[in-house]
Chain A
């Protein structure tokens, strides 16, 4: 059974940093691209960042470019999101998601975690 479990969220002051983690199990992690998607309270989905299976291709939404860094450790079956210079508008539930097809970079997301909540407030 595929499982994605996010952690690392919490309350943080504006300008500070936070690192999110996503622990994956139930599939061959190093075959699949992975992504982060966020959802502000009561709002829609926003794609944040994605990384290919071998970390060779990485992309970011314009809203986080230069502040967030995505990475993965295939030996630990883990995905990360380093978030620096946090702003109030980064407050959201952050989901990690797995793509549908092995090796594909551009693909739909067939499994999602339950999310970890990040609140940016003084």
Chain B
């Protein structure tokens, strides 16, 4: 099983600042099958990034993903008030043995 580690656990930032979230895998994620989701309280997760760097439909371009192998990054270039939430990475490259990271909470400083 591929284990995902996310850091930091909590990121305290102000609106307008840049957020950099890290996701590290215990072994290489095949074909960059790495996704990022945003979840707000009381809501289902929302897909932001798939294939490590492709934005999902309707996702603003302030969200970007990068990385390959075992190290991946989600960057939010300028935080908007609605971006304060929990972010999860997910690997889906291991045939029907998917895993999520523990999440990074981005909160208002």
CB distance from B107 to the nearest CB of A (A): 15
When distances are taken between beta carbons in the complex, the residues of chain A under 8 Å from B39 are 45
Give, as a whole number of angstroms, the nearest-CB distance from B49 to chain A.
8
User: Known contacts A57-B95, A105-B96, A108-B90: does B102 contact A44 (CB below 8 Å)?
Assistant: yes
CB distance from A96 to the nearest CB of B (A): 10
Interface range for B: 20 to 34
Of A9-17, A21-29, A78-86, A112-120, the segment with at least 4 beta carbons within 8 Å of chain B is: A112-120
B56 located at the interface, meaning its Cβ lies under 8 Å from any Cβ of chain A in the complex: yes
* Contact string against A for B residues 79-109, beta-carbon threshold 8 Å, 1 for contact and 0 otherwise: 0000000101010111111111111000000
Total contacts A-B at CB 8 Å: 72
How large, as a class, is the contact surface on chain A? 20 to 34
In the bound complex, CA of A84 to CA of B31 (Å): 35
In the bound complex, do residue A45 and residue B88 qualify as a contact, i.e. CB atoms below 8 Å apart?
yes
| A47 near B44: Cβ-Cβ < 8 Å | no
A contact residues around B61 at 8 Å (CB): none
A106: B residues at CB distance < 8 A: 33, 92-96, 98
Contact with B along A43-67 (1 / 0, CB 8 A): 0111100101000011101100000
A50 to B50, CA, bound (A): 18
A72 at the interface (CB under 8 A from B): no
Would A59 and B44 be within 8 Å (CB), given that A44-B100, A44-B103, A45-B88 are in contact? Answer: no
Please name 7 further chain A to chain B contacts, defined as beta carbons within 8 Å, in addition to the given A44-B88, A45-B100, A59-B98, sorted by A numbering. A52-B96, A95-B44, A106-B98, A107-B33, A108-B50, A108-B92, A115-B44
Footprint of A on B, CB under 8 Å? Answer: 1, 33, 35, 37, 39, 44-47, 50-51, 56-57, 86, 88, 90, 92-103
